[in-house]
A and B are shown apart, each in its own frame.
Chain A
Amino acid sequence: MQLSTNHLLGIKDLLPKDISLILSTAAQFKEVLQRPVKKVPSLRDVTIVNLFYESSTRTRISFELAEKRLGADTINFTASGSSVSKGETLLDTVNNILSMKVDMVVMRHSASGAPHFLAKHIDAAIVNAGDGINEHPTQALLDAFSITEKLGTLEGKKIVLIGDIMHSRVALSNIYLLKKMGAEVMVAGPPTLIPTYIKEALDVQVEYNLEKALQWCDVANVLRIQLERQNQILFSSLREYNIAYGVTKTILDKIDK
């Protein structure tokens, strides 16, 4: 048994059976956290560097925890306070780190395609922790795991992604994964935040009315407005956005779900 890929650059490259294997292994690993010793020695011989060029709380901490619980040695690298401020390029930084016998790189970068670029130039295995507005594969896998825990399966389930679809790498990874695993996908939000041809390109439904979207779905995945990635004014104000697209108790009570 093998995964179909050496790296985890995006859900786009994964097969449904890879996703099933990852999710079922995760389900078994969850039990380890109930034991007195919450660690296994599987990755004892592996050194992993967490290369985070963008800020992150949850992703960084959960990667580090996962690596340590699997027994690996971890190195954490953030761009600020490193030689990047002296003008060192990405490739130089990574090659320096690799010369110290690091087996794997977990990378978050603001440029889409950065991990793919690295994968072409270096030998180590690469995990994409988020690249620009492209993909965030581990987030999609985590969301799929949560859904599967609650609903049992993804096949035939109706999932709506609500919010800034255009700039969201989480949305794209989720769409790829949910379609691969047989779910029905809808995207909802203001027209300015939904790419024009997304229906044809990715075969998802599009809905501009929040209430209709919430009525239709089994699961609603609500996204954060990616203000830091928008270079133009795409909606009138955060408050107006919230009124129209904020998932609040009022609207949840109204649709009785």
Chain B
Amino acid sequence: MKIILDKQQLHLTIKRLSHQLTENHVNLQDVIFIGLQPRGLQVSKLIVDHIRTIYAGENVQYGVLDITFYRDDVRYELHKASKTDIPFSVQDKKVILIDDVLYTGRTIRAALDALQDFGRPKKVELCVLVDRRFNRELPIQPDFYGIAIDTLTSQKVKVEWDKEEVILY
């Protein structure tokens, strides 16, 4: 087991990402941040909380999306659905999807499908904490990433929230 990001690095990365995400989006009213269930929930909350402190007083729009019903492996495995809560329209907005680890890209593909059923966003961008660089099964790449690493398919990457570190095992 190897620690990719320890507690201090994790929080620094989250702070850096929250600045990066808002660098080019001048009007926060046009932006919607969406955390992907179940594992993107924590990291997206931390990032959005930080954005809220940077832009105190402004309304930061945040929702969560569960993609269980859009998975492409429905026939092979049962997954338990979690909450989806997107209480605003995504029509003509810039949507930033936030997840913890980008691996094969299938979750993001499902998220893009799900998003389409909510409306037509003006633009969709992807932010992940960890990019498992060469393991993609679909042509999907992140616009913002915390750290990019090379891994084997036999390995797993996990964010341990109680210890606040990212591990590879």
| Chain A residues engaging chain B, CB cutoff 8 angstroms | 1-3, 21, 24-25, 28-29, 31-32, 35-37, 39-43, 45, 70
Contact = CB atoms under 8 A, between A and B. Distances in A.
Interface in B41-77: 66, 68-71, 74-75, 77
B70 A42 contact: yes
B69 A31 contact: no
Nearest to B113: A41
A41 B68 CA distance: 10
Given A28-B83, A31-B85, A3 B74 contact: no
Interface in B94-146: 113-114, 116-119
Interface of B: 66, 68-71, 74-75, 77-85, 113-114, 116-119
Contacts of B119: 36
A196 B84 CA distance: 48
B118 A3 contact: no
B74 A31 contact: no
Contacts of A1: 77-80
Given A40-B70, A41-B113, A35 B118 contact: yes
A81 B67 CA distance: 41
Contacts of A43: 74
B70 A41 contact: yes
Contact of B81 (A24, A35, A45, A70): A24
A161 to B, nearest CB: 30
Nearest to B78: A1
List the 3 shortest-distance A-B pairs measured between CB atoms, nearest first.
Answer: A40-B69, A37-B117, A28-B81
Given A1-B80, A25-B81, A28-B83, 18 more contacts: A2-B78, A21-B80, A24-B80, A28-B66, A28-B82, A29-B69, A29-B81, A31-B83, A31-B84, A31-B85, A36-B119, A40-B70, A40-B114, A41-B70, A42-B74, A43-B74, A45-B75, A70-B69
